[in-house]
Structure 1
């Protein structure tokens, strides 16, 4: 079978570089790395064995830039308020598309590309990341055979020493202080972004601060699992000064004094990097589901991931890696546009967890 020709956009970013690192080890994948900065591209390409590179700006990309590839992976971000430029170029070029999008509106709008993707005979898959791809694979495994789901709680907690990029900070600041629509108490309601502040105890990791985030997950969890009571997604920073400090900075947005914290992305990223030596290199993901089992009895199931040694940033790339393996073997997703919900199984990432030294536990 011929090598699958893959273009990775945003290859020098926190997640793109890790996806490139893992995909470069896969047999049958011919990678090309793309980003806006040549120096970082050349350094990464050399580290991965001399891979070819392209200078590309995702905001100005055209179908001609994708000619000759089988799959394009957009790992650049931020996807909040992002135009579907790469999707449209991929459809025009008849190249399969995968992204790591976490922008709620971006993912929600994916159906608008379904007819064009089917006409082009290609698949367009958004959200091939920790959410919803991995989280839904976990929930599918936890609730297999259940009669119904009452509550879903998902938390992601990176270690403070984990590398962070500007796109991630911009994504977070885009919703901090703004109303976030969540399903709780058996109804849709608005809560302040980075609100619902509380302590979350992760088994084997300890207590971390948690706040509500605006992600595609809130919509997709309700759409796929129909929880009776709630479907909530939280994230937390390990250092109290960062997590609580952001909660304080959210207040002027909540009060309408300023429109957004996103313009402060660079200075806040600088502060976070200054505090990088503090805290730990332990990241975690925790998923708790309550419902009714096959005998209609109340049951709770939990799945926890612990990533030591700053391996946490690899986790958001594993779903995209699993999809590339599927494409290489000739059975990628069917033509059309969809979120990466229910497309992958948890077993498809188990081997990667073990190779990376990432520990998971199910109870």
Structure 2
């Protein structure tokens, strides 16, 4: 909750006086994140609401910033009208959930807000809750308030991203989207309860232009979330969830043929557990997984493993403005603890918009399309949250290998790097000088000999030739007469958006990431005869290309955690005859 803004704009102060001068916020995992986003603004006074006053007091005291903070007791299952009357907020934000299992009077909180002339917004991800909120539209208009439902990742952010993509289409046939929370994210028990409410149960979807039924958490799409210029998330299975988008998309795009919304629960062990138990519901061996939600929530902590990163994607396909086939996708990756802020950035944008004297139109509706993507992106800027779009047109699959990997981030590269890789069919020949270091360990020496890495030398002539055949590049590196070769290609399937480089039976998978004046290569996996090997044991090191004094320079370091340095070579190259 928030109390009367202090030192705010005149229009905002006037709105407060006519609307009882408060924001309200019902505190939970995401409610806490919203409070953290708003506590730096002295115009606000946050009312931290929850069933436990002691917890509300503790949380309020932990918040810094210039905003006022006031802990209050609020029980959504109690006399909502009486509780709201006592604190009289200007805006009530319900961030608690789960909205799938409200029970009783599902809309008791927004109805009470309408009766008291209080604006309302929520983070609902329940398909039914968001769809039926429009039944309150006439009441909200009469009361002169807005009621916005689903101001979260689905559908507010997903539709903002889709509206950005739709600018390039004349017709959209297929839409899919999904979220992939970090396995280490602080996901509240209500999120797990929401997921288990539809696990294994029928989920209405569109398939081939016909209304069909999917199975919650059983059907899946494999997607690699990869914003241009960012290290992709590990490829994952996004399992069908019953999100509001599945109702809203056919209303937005006439003639839509198919749609899908999914979640990639991490770690994979927890996802497999959810999928297996969802099958028990499908077979009617269990009526629901909801009784097991507390156990699954407790299990999510000890099972947490892998990178502390999360993400989201929205993908559309159809025809571009010229009638040609087009696939476009929007990707987001959030690093570390910044992920849980993503679902509440829309709420932050709303409240700051109100503080600046701009109100959404009166009435009750879903928040889909309420804010443009730019409003969310402004909120992302303060965090390690990266987003961007990728486009795939028929002719683009024939572009040079390195141009296809980083997407639009390719345009950021210095000219010397781009010119080296952006070559016509046939390849390129370069020559220059380099310094080579070799590891001295027994295993490192054997690996270096098998691959053909050069021996240690302080200054050696280097010649690099790569030829293209279709979408594959064949590389030959010659250090003073000692050659070693590799094959490079773009990964696909679970290796999508990665550079795959084959050295004999070994395949190294790398993310190609522009980083200022450098192009970095970050090892994301490796295989022996196609068999995946532990990433922690993967060979790699500091590998990058850069432009110095208008000349192409390279730095390659190959080693492993158990065997130490294998080889390190660095130097410069220029086109032969250039």
Counterpart of 1:212 in structure 2 is 240
Counterpart of 2:367 in structure 1 is 340
SS of structure 1 residue aligned to 2:198: coil
Question: How much does 1:215 deviate?
Answer: 1.2
Deviations 1:253-301 (A, max 9, x none): 111122110011111111112223x222100101111122222221111
Question: How much does 1:27 deviate?
Answer: 4.8
Counterpart of 1:73 in structure 2 is 93
Instruction: Give the gaps of 5 or more residues in structure 2.
Output: 1-8, 227-231, 391-578
Question: How much does 1:200 deviate?
Answer: 2.1
SS of structure 1 residue aligned to 2:55: helix
Counterpart of 2:192 in structure 1 is 169
Counterpart of 1:33 in structure 2 is 48
SS of structure 1 residue aligned to 2:297: helix
CA distance in 1, matches of 2:303, 2:177: 26
Question: How much does 1:330 deviate?
Answer: 2.3
CA distance in 2, matches of 1:323, 1:219: 23
Counterpart of 1:313 in structure 2 is 340
CA distance in 2, matches of 1:29, 1:182: 42
Deviations 1:195-226 (A, max 9, x none): 11343222211211221001111111121123
Contact 2:114–2:143 (Cα < 8 Å) also in 1: yes
Deviates more, 1:168-177 or 1:348-357: 348-357
1:19 aligns with 2:34: yes
1:322 aligns with 2:349: yes
Counterpart of 1:57 in structure 2 is 75
Which runs of structure 2 are paired with 1:101-250 in the superposition (5 Å)? Answer: 101-144=124-167, 146-203=169-226, 204-226=232-254, 228-250=256-278
Question: How much does 1:39 deviate?
Answer: 2.6
Question: TM-score, with normalisation over the residues of structure 2?
Answer: 0.61
Structure 1 residues 327 and 274 mapped into 2: Cα distance closer, same or farther (>3 Å)? same
Contact 1:283–1:310 (Cα < 8 Å) also in 2: no
Contact 2:278–2:289 (Cα < 8 Å) also in 1: yes
- CA-based RMSD: 1.5
1:285 aligns with 2:305: no
Deviations 1:29-65 (A, max 9, x none): 2221101122321121011146101111112242232
Question: How much does 1:186 deviate?
Answer: 0.9
SS of structure 1 residue aligned to 2:382: helix
Counterpart of 2:561 in structure 1 is none
Structure 1 residues 180 and 284 mapped into 2: Cα distance closer, same or farther (>3 Å)? same
Contact 1:180–1:193 (Cα < 8 Å) also in 2: yes
**More helix per residue: 1 or 2?**
1
CA distance in 2, matches of 1:79, 1:66: 19
**More strand per residue: 1 or 2?**
2
Contact 1:183–1:229 (Cα < 8 Å) also in 2: yes
Deviations 1:233-267 (A, max 9, x none): 01111222111111111122111122110011111
CA distance in 1, matches of 2:296, 2:117: 40
1:267 aligns with 2:295: yes
Question: TM-score, with normalisation over the residues of structure 1?
Answer: 0.95
Contact 1:200–1:210 (Cα < 8 Å) also in 2: yes
Alignment: residue pair count: 360
Contact 2:126–2:244 (Cα < 8 Å) also in 1: yes
CA distance in 1, matches of 2:120, 2:361: 12
CA distance in 1, matches of 2:312, 2:92: 27
Contact 1:186–1:230 (Cα < 8 Å) also in 2: yes
SS of structure 2 residue aligned to 1:59: coil
CA distance in 2, matches of 1:342, 1:310: 27
Question: How much does 1:118 deviate?
Answer: 0.9
Structure with higher Rg: it is 2
Deviations 1:176-199 (A, max 9, x none): 011001112111111111111343
Contact 1:159–1:238 (Cα < 8 Å) also in 2: yes
SS of structure 2 residue aligned to 1:344: coil
SS of structure 2 residue aligned to 1:151: strand
Instruction: Give the gaps of 5 or more residues in structure 1.
Output: none
